[in-house]
Structure 1
Amino acid sequence: MGASNFDRATLDGNNEAFQRAVEQLRARLNFDFVTMGITAFVGAPLKWVYSAGETSNRHRRIALAPGHGVGGIVLKSGKPMLFTDIDSELDPREYSSYPIVFAEDLRSLCALPLKRNHHVIAVLLCAFRDVSESHAQAFRSLIADELRGTFCELAVVSEGFIGFDASLHDDASILSGRAGDSGESSPAKNDGSPRLIRSDLARIIGAQEDERRRISRELHDGVAQELLTVTFSLQRLREHLDDEGIAILDEAHGSINAVLDELHNISVMLRPSALDHLGFVPALRSQALVLEQTYGSAVAFEGDLTLPRFDRALETQAYRICQEAMTNACKYSGSDTVRVQVEAASDWLHICVSDDGCGFDVAHPTIKGSGCGLLGMQERANQVGATLSIESGAAGTRVTLVTPMRAQEELQ
C-alpha cells in the first residue's frame, strides 16, 4: 500500500505531529532548514509539505516528478543523498536542476527516503546554508542517534547513498565528510569554443521549431494515447482481483498517471498545443503552471489578457522569447514572483517579463545552461522586426519586447 493511505490532512500539510517533528529535529541538531516532502501515491509527484527554517514559501510550490530534483531522485531510487559541500561537487550552472537547493540556497544536505510498507512515500531533507566540517557530524548524529531508523512512524533508509549524478558513493566516506569522487566539473562554455553566427542561429531556430512541433505531437498523439489504452486494459482486470491485487493495480495506475503528467509537461515545453489552437496568452499561462511546479516561483500576469490571434510567426517567436525570459527568471533570479505584463494597443504588442531577483551583468553575462539563451532571444526578435531590451541590476531584471502586431485574419 502506498502513500494513498495518508489521510487528507497529512497531504494538505495539516498534520500537527509531522510539523512538530520537523521543527524539533531542526532545533535539536541546529540545522538551518528541515523539510518533509510527501507524495499522494506511488508514482505521484513529491511536494515539500512540512518545513522549518524556510526563507519563503517558494519551495512549497515545487512539485517534483520521480527522478527530478533532490526529492524526486530520492523518491524514485529509494536511496538517500548526502553532500557536505555542494559547491565542490555540483557545477553551479546545474543548481537550477535541483529546485530545493536553489530556492533555499543550500550548501550541504542530507535527504533520506521514508518508507511505509516497503514503498517510499516521503523524503526527509535536513540542510545547512553554509559549509563546515561540523556538518558531517551533524548528519552522522541525525542518522545514528536521532532517527535510529524511524521518523514519524515511517522507516528511514540510510544506506546506499547516491550523488547528483546518480553514481553510488561509499557510505563511510560520505559520513566522514567526503562525498566521493563526483568527477571534474564541466568546463565553462566561454572557453574559446566556436560561436554561432546569426545566420546559423536563424536556421537552427527554424529547424528547432519544426522538430519541437513534431515531437510534441508524437508524444501527445502517440505515446500518451498508448498509455491511456494500457490504463483501460488494466481497468478491466479490477473485477477479477482480490484486495491485494486491487492495491497493486491502483499503484500501477498512479505510476502511469505520473508518466502522463510528465509527458504533458515535456510536450508543453516543446510546443504547447495551446499556442497552435488557442493563442499566445493561453500558451504562456500553460507554461507558467509548469514553471511554478518545477521551480516554485509564482508567475503573475497583468495587463490586456484578451489578445486576438495574430501572425503565427510572431506568436511563435514572442512566445519563445517570453518562455526563455520566464524560465531564466524562475531558475536564476531567486525571486519569489515573476511578473508578466502584456499590453496590445494601436497594432503594437508590448510584453514585459520582470523579477526583483539578484540580476546579472547584461554586457558580460555568466554563462548558464546552453549559453545561447540571450543570443537566441535577440535573434528571434530580429526575425519578426521586434525590439528587445534587457535591463538588469541589483533591483532585478526586466525583459521588454515591443513589436508591430497583425491579426491573423489580416494575413489570409
Structure 2
Amino acid sequence: MSISLPLSLLVLNSAALACVWVGHCLSRKSIKFQPQELADRLLQVQENERHRLSRELHDDIGQLLTAAKLQSEWLKRRIPEELRGQCSVLCDTLDETLTKVRDVSAILNPRQLASLGLEASLRAHLLRTLANTSVHWSLECHQRLTGIPEEMAVAAFRITQEAVTNMLRHAQAENLLVRLQRLPQGLSLLISDDGLGFVPAADPAREGQRGMAGMSERIDQLGGTLTVASEPGKGTQIEALFPWAPRALERASTNKVMH
C-alpha cells in the first residue's frame, strides 16, 4: 500500500534538502580558505605573544634585576673589605644579565621600528647581534623609507632577523650583506652571505626548515614573493619583495634616490 504525502510536506522536504546542500557547499568553501586564514591568525598571535613577553622582560624582570643590582651595590659598601671582591662579581653578573634581558626584549619587540624606522632599526639589530662575531656586514639603503606600512616593516625586520640567526647558527659565514630598495612595485629586501649554504626545501614546513617556513608565511601574508638561492659551499641569497598597496603604487614610484 502506497502512502501519498501532502504537497506542502514535499515542498518542505525539498527546501530542507536544498538548505543542507547549500550549507555543505559553503562549508567546503570556508574550509578551502581556512589554511591561509589560520596562517595569518597564527602570525598575529605570535607577534602579540612576542610583544607580551617583551613587556614582561623589560618591565617586570628588568625592574627586579635593576633592584637586585642596586641592593648589591648598597651591600658592597657595607660589607668587610675581604668580601667586596665577590660582591663586585655579583654586581657585574647582574649588570650583564640586565643587558642581555634588554637585548632579548628588543629582539622580541623592536619598539624602535615606530620611532627610528626600518633602516635604523635593522642597523641597530645588526650592530647588537653581530658585535661579538667575526662577521663583516653591511646594510645598504640609498632611498628614503618613510611611509612604509607597519606590517611591511615588521615583516622585513623579522625576515632579516631570522636569516641572520640562521647564518650564525649554521652558515659559518664571513660576510653578510643586507640591502633595502624602494622599487615601483614594492619594497625589496636582499640578504646575502658567503657561508656554507644548504639545499632549500620545496616545502620548508614539511621538511623541518622552520625558519624558512616562517619567512614564507610572513611574505605570503602580504602577498609578496620570496626567493631563496643556495647550495652547499656557495652561500645563501634571500630576496623578498613586499608589494605596495594599490593606493601607494603611484606614490612609491615617484620617490627619488637620495644622492
Q: Same fold (TM over 0.5)?
A: yes
After superposition, the C-alpha distances for 1:327-358 in whole angstroms (9 at most, x for unaligned) are: 22222222111110112244732110001222
Question: Contact 2:204/2:212 (CA < 8 Å) preserved in 1?
Answer: no
1:227 aligns with 2:65: yes
More helix by share: 2
Shift of 1:369: 11
Distance 1:252 1:315 in 2: 39
Contact 2:181 2:188 in 1 (8 A): yes
Shift of 1:253: 0.7
Residue 112 of structure 2 is matched in structure 1 by 274
Q: Which residue of 2 aligns with 1:214?
A: 52
Distance in 2 (CA, whole Å) between partners of 1:374 and 1:198 is 17
Q: CA deviation at 1:229?
A: 2.0
Pairing partner for 1:258 from 96, 106, 112: 96
Number of the residue aligned with 1:101:
none
SS of equivalent residue, structure 1 residue 236? helix
The CA distance in 2 between the partners of 1:234 and 1:369, in whole Å, is 49
Which residue number corresponds to residue 140 of structure 1?
Answer: none
Alpha-carbon distance between aligned partners in 2 of 1:389 and 1:231, rounded to the nearest angstrom: 47
Q: Give me the whole-angstrom Cα distance separating, in 2, the residues matched to 1:404 and 1:362.
A: 24
- Contact 2:138-2:178 at 8 Å conserved across structures: yes
The answer on whether the counterparts of 1:279 and 1:309 sit within 8 Å (CA) in structure 2 is: no
Aligned residue among 233, 239, 243 for 1:400: 239
User: Per the alignment, in what secondary structure is the counterpart of residue 77 of structure 2?
Assistant: helix
Which protein shows a greater Rg? Answer: 2
Higher strand proportion? 1
| Shift in CA distance, 303/401, structure 1 to aligned 2, threshold 3 Å | same
2:124 aligned to 276, 283, 286, which one?
Answer: 286
Which ranges of 4 or more aligned residues in structure 1 deviate by more than 6 Å? Answer: 365-369
* 1:376 matched residue in structure 2: 214
Q: Give the letter aligned to residue 329 of structure 1.
A: M
| Aligned mates of 2:205, 2:222 — CA distance in 1 | 26
* Distance in 1 (alpha carbons) for counterparts of 2:36 and 2:170: 26
Superposed CA offset, 1:25-78 (max 9, x none): xxxxxxxxxxxxxxxxxxxxxxxxxxxxxxxxxxxxxxxxxxxxxxxxxxxxxx
Matches within 5 A, 1:23-38: none
User: Which position in structure 1 is the counterpart of 2:174?
Assistant: 336
Which segments of 5 or more consecutive residues in structure 1 lack a partner in the other structure?
1-196
SS in structure 2 opposite 1:240? coil
Partner SS, residue 318 of structure 1:
helix
The residue type equivalent to 1:326 in the other structure is V
Amino acid at match of 1:285: R
The percent of aligned pairs where both chains have the same amino acid is: 28
Query: 2 CA distance for matches of 1:213 and 1:268?
Result: 10
Give yes or no for contact 2:190–2:237 (8 Å, CA) kept in 1.
Answer: yes
| Residues 1:376 and 1:198: Cα distance change in structure 2 (over 3 Å) | farther
Query: In the alignment, which of 187, 197, 204 is matched to residue 42 of structure 2?
Result: 204
Counterpart in 2 of 1:130? none
TM-aligned CA deviation for residue 305 of structure 1: 6.9
CA distance in 2, matches of 1:370, 1:279: 33
Instruction: Give the TM-score normalised by the residue count of structure 2.
Output: 0.70
State the Cα distance separating 1:359 from its structure 2 match: 2.0
RMSD: 3.0
Cα distance in structure 1, aligned partners of 2:198 and 2:204: 8
CA gap 1:311/1:367 in 2 versus in 1, 3 angstroms:
closer
Deviation sequence 1:219-257 (CA, Å, 0-9, x none) = 111111221122223323343233223222211111101
Which of 175, 180, 200 is 1:362 aligned to?
Answer: 200
Q: Give the Cα separation in 2 of the matches to 1:208 and 1:346.
A: 31
**Rounded Cα–Cα distance in structure 1 between residues aligned with 2:78 and 2:96:** 25
For these two proteins, the number of residue pairs brought into alignment is: 213
